[in-house]
Amino acid sequence: MAGGVVLSNRSLNIENLKLPNFVVIFIDDMGYGDIEPFGSTRNSTPHLNRMAKEGMKLTSFYIGWAACTPSRASLMTGCYARRVGMDGRVCFPGEARGLNPDEITIADVLKTKGYATGCFGKWHLGDQPQFMPARHGFDYYYGIPYSNDMWRFHKLNKKYNFPPLPLLRNDEVIGVVEDGDDQAMLCRQFTDEAVSFIRRNKDRPFFVYLPHAFIHHPRFARQEFMEKAENETEAQIEETDWSAGQILKTLRELNLDKNTLVIFTSDNGGSSGTSMGPLRGGKGGPVYEGHMREPAIAWWPGRIPAGSVCDEIASTIDILPTFAKLAGAQAPTDRVIDGKDISALLFAEPGAKSPHDAFFYKAMGVRAGKWKFLTKGKGELYNLEEDIGEKNNIASRNPDTVKRLRNLLQQHVDDLEKNNRPAAFVENPKPILPFPER
């Protein structure tokens, strides 16, 4: 070759030219204090300990909206759930509503760059064919379409008459979750499927979304975890730790660890039996930190500094813009996306700050820096730097701060009113499996 720059294979770092892989491990109903890196002394989580030691703990990491369905809608679209019409209650089996097929999900964005995309676990964004993972950018799906408690043993079964809880591979029903033994296998099955998908796609960029059914009630875990634990909750948490370990081990074995970003977090605050650590609140209810701040670990050896901690405000809504940036893909520009690229935080670039001047807790609260305001009652103001447990309402002493934050929240609520997109509804919805005769 004459002239120009000639690169030998030696000087050309092929690894750097590869698009990064992405894995999101999304636990159901895990609390802020349920794993050792976030202070648990009850549950043993060696794999997550190592993940944190090799990666970054995000200590002010929030979901985009509380509860299973809205939280998943936020994660998938990079938007607050009301923005995409998926706030309010969770989807039920055979319901007409689901995440609008017109929404652009993380998987859709990554597909534009040729990613293999797989979803392994609890979907919960509508169980009609129009709403399932295949219509939202996933090449492959293995899992349950909604919560593991939406089955015949649910306490409200008499009222709702839940159909059998199906296990799906793509759009095919391959099993039914009939009993506790079946429930106990869900973490293992989703993990094994995700690992196998990673192996099959090791030579091309991939996105693995692993939304576990664990640790949502009813709680059952495999025998080997039950034997070591004091109760089902501990066993389930420790099994999700095992699951994360399997994923990371597979990435190391395949030499993909230096080219894969893995994020571990939870979909909303912990339910009964879990720990929110120092935070107030838990699953459901109003909008204290324990409702929406989640344990979160980001791992990408060589890119994310080992053993780092980031306390800047970040959220699941940031995952779509961040992955888009890192993949060289275009995040949607024809609509409002609430999330922001947080790669500078993840890579601990000097002086990196949260891209969020304000973060919103549903449409009922706002955090700006250390200040947090809730509309609850006459209004509550907390200084999270000094009072992470939200014990001292100092609203009456700080009227100017209250006013500023109240305005920020009102602007956000007004904007959600003006710029929102609807959920989709189908006519004549049917459950995936027929309702049992009664």
**Chain residues that interact with Ca ion, rule: CB under 5 A:** 28-29, 68, 267-268
Provide the strand spans (E) within 179-290. Answer: 206-211, 260-266
* Residue placing its CB nearer to Ca ion in the complex, 121 or 205: 121
- Which residue is at the shortest CB distance from Ca ion? 68
Contact 401, 374 (CB under 8 A): no
Cβ of residue 151: shortest distance to Ca ion, in angstroms?
16
Contact 314, 339 (CB under 8 A): no
Cβ of residue 95: shortest distance to Ca ion, in angstroms?
17
Cβ of residue 398: shortest distance to Ca ion, in angstroms?
33
Q: Which of 79, 91, 119, 124 is catalytic?
A: 124
Is residue 91 flagged as an active site residue? no
Structure token digits, residue 319: 């995952």
Is residue 68 flagged as an active site residue? yes
* Residue placing its CB nearer to Ca ion in the complex, 29 or 390: 29
Q: For the chain, what percentages of helix, strand and coil (3-state, to nearest 5) are there?
A: 30, 15, 50
Cβ of residue 29: shortest distance to Ca ion, in angstroms?
4
* Residue placing its CB nearer to Ca ion in the complex, 68 or 251: 68
Cβ of residue 214: shortest distance to Ca ion, in angstroms?
11
Contact 251, 47 (CB under 8 A): no
* Residue placing its CB nearer to Ca ion in the complex, 68 or 298: 68
Q: Which of 47, 68, 154, 356 is catalytic?
A: 68
Distance, in Å, from the CA atom of 71 to the CA atom of 79, rounded to the nearest integer, reads 10
* Residue placing its CB nearer to Ca ion in the complex, 121 or 429: 121
- Convert 226-260 to b/e letters by CB count within 10 Å (16 or more is b): beebeebbbbbbbbbbbbbbbbbebbeeeebbebb
* Residue placing its CB nearer to Ca ion in the complex, 68 or 408: 68
CA 127 to chain CA centroid, nearest Å: 19
Structure token digits, residue 203: 């030579």
Residue with tokens 């064919």: 129
Closest CA to 339 of 317, 324, 368, 361: 317
Question: Rounded to the nearest 5 degrees, what angle is found at the Cα of 420, between the Cα atoms of 417 and 426?
Answer: 125
Catalytically active residues are 68, 124
